[in-house]
Chains A and B, each alone.
Chain A
Amino acid sequence: MEQIAFYLFSVLTIGLFLVTVLSNNVLYAMTSLAAGMVLISGFFFLLGADFLGVVQLVVYVGAVMALYSFGMMFFDATKDIKEKNTSSYLVFFLSGMIALTLVIMFSAPIMGENIIASYPIMAGATNPQAVGLVLFTKYLVPFEVAAVMLLVAMISGIILAGKKMDDSLTTKDENHEEDDTFSRKDIK
């Protein structure tokens, strides 16, 4: 049962990500990316890591949505973009790597029998609790570093975007600048 589900999910995920990489249409690429991300959360559910699966769902749905908005700004979604793939070496290389990955995937269960988990699942702890325990004990330093990095990124994002935040284009109160922009547009 689990194996069927695993292979179904993996085939679907790889197929979808292939579409992401190979498609010329931004809409197909984005959609398959989002669907692949959603399907990856299926692996977490299969492993019994409900919390991580849901987090994967929530986080990547939002992240790909942000990518979509870039896609919307840069491309006409309904047109195919003509691209030429000139390098046949690249195709050879990629297909070889795919074959290698498949071999590793299928042989992984055999190798996996020898692996002993260094942090086995604690009895009685539910999923979020287990994640929390690991995050705040073993991985405390990377966690905090990641948090600081995100904070830095957020602050710099606000500074980059917020330079002209005080000049709202829509809520101007009978300002003369507004008239100017209109007249400039008219001249054009």
Chain B
Amino acid sequence: MDAIIIETIVKAALVIAVFSALAGFGTFIERKILAFMQRRLGPMHVGPFGILQIAADGIKLFTKEDIIPQHANKFIFMIAPIITAATAFIALAAVPIFPEFTVFGYTIHPIVADINVGILFILGAMASGLYGPLLAGMAQANKWGIIGSARTAILFMSYEVVTGLSLLAPIMLVGSLSLIDFNAAQTGGVGEWLVWQQPVAFILFIIAGFAETNRTPFDILEHEAEIISGYATEYSGMRWGMFFIGEYANMITISFMASLIFFGGFNEWGILPGGLAILLKVSFFFFLMLWVRASWPHIRPDQLMWLCWKVLMPIAILNVLITGLVMML
């Protein structure tokens, strides 16, 4: 009992440490890749290839003044970024990161909490993460912030249905809500990946995932050209940084979910061991998010609603129906 508690605490601490560092590294990778896609160099001066820019930015964010606007609702203003960051890590708790391995004769399951409704838990935790932007926008006594939080509500109501319905079809196929069961269902190599059986569900999930993580085609919450910075307009210093850690942790979570549910998870992939395979897949999905950001324009809120409610949701329902029919026959 004590061993499990200690193990869980160690795992939780590791997840928080590693993924907040990875989130920082994600900002660096994003800047570099966007730069190359626009024929620029990106950060170059701090450290080799500018890699220490993360440390420089971190020091800057930590030491910057934490400004709270005069008429803002101070308490809500202060806790809003914490909600975003915390829920992002809570969502990561139910993600099996690597295959289990043995150290000193002690088998380690690299998942903080193996609850048997993992997928729903992750979705719920990530959904409550959107309270961060919502509260931040409403608390800061700034009109851009209000618009940002109104758009948060729009975004949330648009993508949430699509995410759930798109994942329903694979859940029906596997018959479980646990990500580990999903992984176990795809042990037979590339041919058994769920994406071949459920390509439509995968596309829908990726689109909804982009909306969920507030990435470019749907980054309506804080689109700089339209609403300054949306919900983050009045934020500075570490509170602003926490929004970003949350956003990047969410991106990593969505990448993990896409790889685990549709792309075989951490099973061995040809000659690649499982740990490396999932790292590759997650890196690809992370890269896809940056790639799309460099390539595509973003859409208006009404277009997002139109897309989600009038296009994606019917397709998702049809997909679920057809999957059910095929399974029954």
Contact = CB atoms under 8 A, between A and B. Distances in A.
Given A57-B128, A62-B157, A127 B117 contact: yes
Interface of A: 25, 27-28, 31, 34, 38, 41, 50-51, 54-55, 57-58, 61-62, 65-66, 68-69, 72, 77-78, 126-128, 168, 170
A170 B302 CA distance: 9
B60 interface: no
Q: For chain B, give the interface size range.
A: 20 to 34
A69 B148 CA distance: 12
B128 A61 contact: yes
Contact of A55 (B120, B138, B139, B149): B120
A101 B115 CA distance: 32
B300 A170 contact: yes
Main secondary structure of the interface of B (DSSP, over half): helix
Interface stretch (B13-21, B71-79, B199-207, B264-272): B71-79
Nearest to B119: A54
A147 B157 CA distance: 20
Interface in B131-176: 131, 134-135, 138-139, 141, 146, 149-150, 153, 156-157, 160, 164, 176
A69 B294 CA distance: 31
A182 to B, nearest CB: 19
A50 B127 contact: no
B156 A77 contact: no
A77 to B, nearest CB: 4
Interface in B298-314: 300, 302
A41 B115 CA distance: 14
Given A27-B135, A28-B73, A50-B115, 5 more contacts: A28-B75, A65-B134, A68-B134, A68-B149, A168-B302
B72 A78 contact: yes
A31 B75 CA distance: 11
Contacts of A38: 128
Contacts, number: 85
Contacts of A128: 117, 177
A31 B135 contact: yes
B139 A27 contact: yes
A168 B134 CA distance: 26
Contact of B73 (A25, A34, A72): A25
A65 B125 contact: no
Contacts of A25: 73
Contacts of A69: 150, 153
B124 interface: yes
A28 B164 CA distance: 29
A93 to B, nearest CB: 30
Contacts of B150: 69, 72
Given A34-B131, A58-B127, A78-B141, A68 B177 contact: no
Nearest to A73: B150
A57 B138 contact: no
A128 B125 CA distance: 18
A27 B76 contact: yes
Given A27-B76, A38-B128, A57-B128, A50 B116 contact: yes
B123 interface: yes
A149 B121 CA distance: 27
Contacts of A34: 128, 131
B300 A62 contact: no
B205 to A, nearest CB: 16
B131 A51 contact: no
Contacts of A57: 121, 124-125, 127-128
A153 to B, nearest CB: 15
B150 to A, nearest CB: 6
B120 A54 contact: yes
A168 B75 CA distance: 39
B278 interface: no
Given A51-B177, A65-B153, A68-B134, A58 B139 contact: no
Contacts of A51: 117, 120, 177
Contacts of B134: 65, 68
A61 B90 CA distance: 15
B194 interface: no
B130 interface: yes
B14 to A, nearest CB: 23
Contacts of A65: 130-131, 134, 153, 156-157
A25 B141 CA distance: 14
A4 to B, nearest CB: 14
